[in-house]
Structure 1
Amino acid sequence: MTKRQLKLGLVPTGVGGPGDSNRWLDPSIPADASVNIDWYIDAVRKAEAAKFDLVFIVDSQFITKDSPPHYLNRLEPLTLLSALAVATSRIGLVGTATTSYNDPFNLVRRFASLDLISKGRAGWNVVTSGDAGTAGNYGKEEHYDYDTRYARATEYLEVARGLWRSYEDDALPRNRETGQFLDETKLHALNHKGRFFSVVGPLNIQRSPQGEPVIFQAGDSDQGRDLGATIADGIFTHSATIEQGQAFYQDVKGRAARLGRDPNEIVIMPGVVVFVGDSDEEARDIERRTREHDQSFEQALGEFGRSFGWHDFRQYDLDAPFPTGALEHAKNSFYTNAKKVTDLAVARRFTLRQTVEHIRGQRRTPFGGTAETVANEIVRWFEGRALDGLNIHLGHPDQFDRFTGEVVPILQERGVFRRDYEHSTLRGHLGLPIPTNRREPAPVLEAAE
């Protein structure tokens, strides 16, 4: 068996994502970084030089005045990744797209195109849209409820994989001597008719060197975990402690095994922030000063409402008990997280102020210290089966430079991370098999009338 290797992803959130409303004030970050293609290319090329497996572009399609700067003004993921595909050669290219507000045929075709443009480096982070306000941008009065969202997503992936397998791998001989471009017995219609979608097919694009895009998923509810265990090649998550990471890891891989899947073919990669200093104390001081600078309490209070359907918590007395009735606003939003926050506040008898401050305090990273300390902790989580890899949030550039320049070489020296790329596709990097595409020969195209 091939030795298990740590995976690394880069998450660039430009001028500042959740919790980092003031990051854009850093003069080393262009004030327009989130829409600046040159900034993205430079960042992703640095990650590729460090042999990262992938870059992960987060996305959502609803904003309020309290959204962080990166969310207020950012490039659409597939457009951005197509530009990055021709500016890089090895790093995987993963973008977020919702199954709730995209037509399957169009979205599947765009990901297949990215996969061909990049020569097999595309990945899709499948989401169902936690921001309930997104419905209003697509002509709907109300967002889908949890069960409907996840049922749609499961069927959506069935359609996607069926469309990606429209062509058998040798369906296009392109033989100039015989004049044969297509072997029509190896092109297959989908003819899908389900609860949510009706799609005839076939898709008008061939498969890539990795077969089809890698599927990622992020969701911590029972429905989200079931969806990931059912359809995902990779899982994006968050864990505050190694114990939380181990519990999530065992749960999701256990669900996959019960479904008859090989749990080793699911890569779990929590998102983390890393702080590196010349001493452990200096690193924690850098973290503290960065946190204080990058978001005020007032900004945190405004952003706090996102999990609750962007409910405005500024209307409440900060020093009164936490307003538990606000949970009602989260029913079609990020309910799992909102319920955790509410239960915590009730159990500890927190005021609203104490709850917001506690959530802010929870952001302290497990991965802070000297390069040696950070590397030791990463190895501990990796060997302890709390993760298969890490998605490193690109915050302030100097810290990412210290991670790639100081921590990565230690991980390479210890043999847990590659010194050079061994594959050219994202599936190859992640140790995932190419999906089979065996079909019974059957002509699908009728002669034109």
Structure 2
Amino acid sequence: MNGQVQTRAGDGTAGRPRRLTFGALLHGSGGHIAAWRHPLSPPDGQLDLPFHIRLARTMERGTFDALFIADVVAIWGHDLDSLRRTARADRFEPLTLLAALSTVTERIGLVATATTTYNEPFHIARKFASLDHLSGGRAGWNVVTSVVPLEAGNFGRDTHLDHALRYRRAEEFVDVVRGLWDSFDDDAFLRDQKTGIYFDEARLHRLDHRGKHFAVTGPLNIPRPPQGRPVIVQAGSSDAGRALAASVADVVFTHHPDLAGAQAYYADLKARTQAAGRNPDEVVVLPGLSTVVGRTISEAEDKLERLTALLDPRVALADLAYWLGGVDLTAHPLDGPLPDLPPSNQSRSAQRHIVERARAGGLTIRQLAHQLARDTRTIVGTPESIADHIQEWFEGRGADGFNVVFPYLPDTLDDFATLVIPELRRRGLFRTEYTGRTLRENLGLSLPPSRWSAVQARSLR
């Protein structure tokens, strides 16, 4: 089946095959906050380029669609006593790292986070267009509005912008970036040595954008990217986030602890995408999935227990406070209930999920911190049981695939690539080789036309 499931016309996919899609988080020693302490992980993995290359090549051998690098533009945390016990104080700038990885990989997509709150559109447009050219059409931009208030002080601001304002700004930011990517027509550069004409000036377009948040003249000083536009990724779970994802995203990262919630989100986002005048088939929904694989359940559970035992309780509590919106929990008893909280100005969807978990389970602050550290997205099991989970969510339309987080590296990635992926291939659910050269092609997404194509077509009527 080469990794495709044929669907019927009229079921929301217009008869085109659905593709099981995998992103993979590339995260130093691993996604678990205590991963750097694991004896099988390098403690300096954040800044170890050969280690990143090894991981990227493993992901490519497993035919992952893309590897993804998350990012914040600050040291992640203000409580130095807990921060000094984590690997959150150092990391590569992601586009620089992806440029290096583009030279040692051939097919896997390269996706980096870049914030719309603490950047300018011209910078982002130029950097991702450059990465798309360097990689032969494999770049993706994870659009975020920043969830770490500490970033504000690094960019001349006393406070973090309000949640709603960040999303309004992001919508205009993305529109400007896409306009800049269309500065040159695909065939604008002639480079004709005989005539001495380098590019056709008639195929160059100034943007001349004047909006509420940005004024950008353009044009961008690089040819149109090989993909037309690099793939846009967005993690939209709040109402504002879903609206932005429906209007601009090619891939959506999300998080749901159960299939029913995932199915409701999936249906809502596809409906919003259609209402925005876009084809719902061209938006790929990828919930997060963390896996610990063993050849037996007991082996997998033992692996997770050994990792969890490395987590300092002070780090777990600080991490909980952060995801709740940076609240101070020290005044509340650890063995008491979670107090009522003001709305977060960071990630409101994360805060909502955590509060709902605490209330539903009657959890104390201590219990909640322990559960969050383990992460309810972590599936612990055999290759067969993990493949069962993936298949159920994919065929049940709770996901088009998953953005896989590996708790500690390289072992949990190696286990997924050598045990789970072969099982999915055996079931005919996942491809055995890449079918395209660009990220868009491998995701089954069409090449977006330039915004100037419609203008030129109208002028010829």
TM-score normalized by the length of structure 1: 0.91
Give the structure 2 partner of residue 3 of structure 1: 17
Looking at structure 1, the residues matched to 330 and 216 of structure 2 have their Cα atoms a distance apart, in angstroms, of 46
Alignment match of 1:13 (pick from 12, 27, 32): 27
Identify which of 293, 314, 317 aligns with 2:330: 314
Shift of 1:160: 0.6
Displacement of 1:361 in angstroms is 5.9
User: Following TM superposition, by how much is the alpha carbon of 1:50 offset from its aligned partner in structure 2, in angstroms?
Assistant: 1.2
**CA distance in structure 2 between the aligned counterparts of 1:358 and 1:309, rounded to whole angstroms:** 17
The answer on 1:85 being equivalent to 2:97 is no
Of 46, 64, 76, the match for 2:58:
46
Aligned ranges 1:150-161 → 2 under 5 Å: 150-161=167-178
Unmatched segments (≥5 aa) in structure 1 = 443-449
Query: Does 1:247 pair with 2:252?
Result: no
Hey, what's the Cα distance between the residues in 2 that align with 1:255 and 1:430?
20
Residues of 1 paired with 2:430 and 2:339: CA distance?
46
8 Å Cα contact 1:145/1:331 also seen in 2: no
Q: How far apart are the structure 2 equivalents of 1:218 and 1:310? A: 20
1:209 equivalent in structure 2:
226
Cα distance in 1 between the residues matched to 2:419 and 2:329: 42
State the partner residue of 2:354.
Answer: 341
Matched AA of 1:426: L
> Which deviates more from structure 2 when the two are superposed, residues 140-149 or residues 190-199?
140-149
Q: Against the structure 1 CA distance between its residues 348 and 398, is the aligned structure 2 distance closer, same or farther, given a 3 Å change threshold?
A: closer
- Letter of the 1:352 counterpart: I
2:52 and 2:92 map into 1 onto residues whose CA distance is 10
RMSD across aligned C-alpha pairs, in angstroms?
Answer: 2.1
2:214 matched to 1:221? no
| d(CA) in 1 for partners of 2:247, 2:63 | 29
Contact 1:98–1:128 at 8 Å: present in 2 too? yes
Farther off after superposition, 178-187 or 61-70:
61-70
Report if aligned partners of 1:280, 1:373 keep a CA contact under 8 Å in 2.
Answer: no
- Using a 3 Å threshold, how does the CA distance of structure 1 residues 347 and 276 change in structure 2: closer, same or farther? closer
Determine the C-alpha separation between the residues in 1 that align with 2:164 and 2:114.
19
Q: Is the 8 A contact 1:21 1:294 kept in 2?
A: no
C-alpha distance in 2, partners of 1:364/1:271? 7
Q: Which residue is equivalent to 2:8?
A: none
* Alignment partner of 1:231 out of 248, 266, 277: 248
Instruction: Output the CA distance in 2 between the equivalents of 1:100 and 1:209.
Output: 27
Q: Which amino acid in the other structure matches residue 338 of structure 2?
A: F
Structure 1 distance, partners of 2:63, 2:358, is 42
Match of 2:43?
Answer: 31
Query: Residues of 1 paired with 2:355 and 2:112: CA distance?
Result: 31
Secondary structure in 2 matching 1:215? strand
Deviation of the 1:170 alpha carbon: 0.9
Q: Describe the SS at the equivalent of 2:150.
A: helix
Q: Is 1:102 the equivalent of 2:100?
A: no
Instruction: Say if 2:190 and 2:197, in contact at 8 Å, map to a contact too.
Output: yes
Residue identity in the other structure for 2:330? R
Instruction: Note the C-alpha offset of 1:287.
Output: 2.7
> What is the CA–CA distance in structure 2 between the aligned matches of 1:342 and 1:369, rounded to whole Å?
27
Change (3 A) 1:234 1:184: same
Aligned length: 435
The match for 1:434 is: 447
Range 270-279 or range 36-45, more displaced: 270-279
The answer on whether the counterparts of 2:113 and 2:141 sit within 8 Å (CA) in structure 1 is yes
Distance 1:125 1:351 in 2: 34
SS of 1:396 mapped into structure 2:
coil
Equivalent of 1:129, from 146, 150, 153? 146
Summarize deviations over 1:97-153 as a string: whole Å, max 9, x none.
000000111111011100100010000000000112211111101111111100000
Task: Provide the residue aligned with 2:3 in structure 1.
Answer: none
Please state how far the C-alpha of 1:274 moved relative to its aligned partner: 1.1
- The equivalent residue for 1:165 is 182
Aligned match of 1:279: 296
Shift of 1:238: 1.4
Amino acid at match of 2:323: S
Partner Cα distance (1:41, 1:267) in 2 = 26
1:51-109 deviation per Cα after TM superposition (whole angstroms, max 9, x unaligned): 11100000112322345734211101111111111111110000000000001111110
Pair 1:47–1:332, CA change in 2 (3 A): same
Structure 1 stretch 179-188 or stretch 345-354: which is displaced more? 345-354
Instruction: Determine helix, strand or coil for the equivalent of 2:220.
Output: coil
Give the CA deviation at 1:352. Answer: 2.6
Q: Is the 8 A contact 1:55 1:94 kept in 2?
A: yes
Q: Deviations over 1:281-315 (max 9, x none)?
A: 4323333333x224233321011111244333234
**Structure 2 contact 113–143 (Cα < 8 Å) conserved:** yes
Shift, 1:30, TM fit? 1.9
Identity %: 43
Change (3 A) 1:285 1:91: same
Q: Cα–Cα, structure 1 residues 113 and 175, in superposed 2: closer, same or farther, change >3 Å?
A: same
Partner SS, residue 71 of structure 1 = coil
Q: CA deviation at 1:344?
A: 5.0
Pick from 409, 415, 418 the counterpart of residue 405 of structure 1. 418
Distance between the aligned counterparts of 2:356 and 2:419, measured in 1? 40
Q: 1:445 matched to which residue of 2?
A: none
Q: Does structure 2 retain, via aligned residues, the 8 Å contact 1:55–1:93?
A: yes
Cα offset, 1:413, TM superposition: 2.1
Q: Secondary structure at the match of 2:105?
A: coil
Unaligned runs of 5+ in 2: 1-14
- 1:274 and 1:368 in contact (8 A); partners too: yes
Deviation at 1:248, TM superposition (A): 1.3
Task: Tell me, in whole angstroms, the C-alpha distance in 2 between the residues paired with 1:435 and 1:115.
Answer: 14
Q: Verify: 1:384 aligned to 2:396, yes or no.
A: yes
Change (3 A) 1:364 1:59: closer
Superposition deviation, residue 358 in structure 1: 4.6
Mark the CA change 1:221 to 1:410 in structure 2 (over 3 Å): closer, same or farther: same
Q: TM-score, normalised by structure 2?
A: 0.89
8 Å CA contact 2:337, 2:364 repeated in 1: yes
Alpha carbons 2:386, 2:420 under 8 Å: kept: yes
Alpha-carbon distance between aligned partners in 2 of 1:161 and 1:308, rounded to the nearest angstrom: 33
Which has the larger displacement, 248-257 or 188-197?
248-257
> 1:245-290 CA deviation, whole Å, 9 max, x = no partner?
1111111111111112111100011121112112234323333333
Amino acid aligned to 1:133: L
* Residue 12 of structure 1, CA deviation: 1.8
Deviation at 1:233, TM superposition (A): 0.3
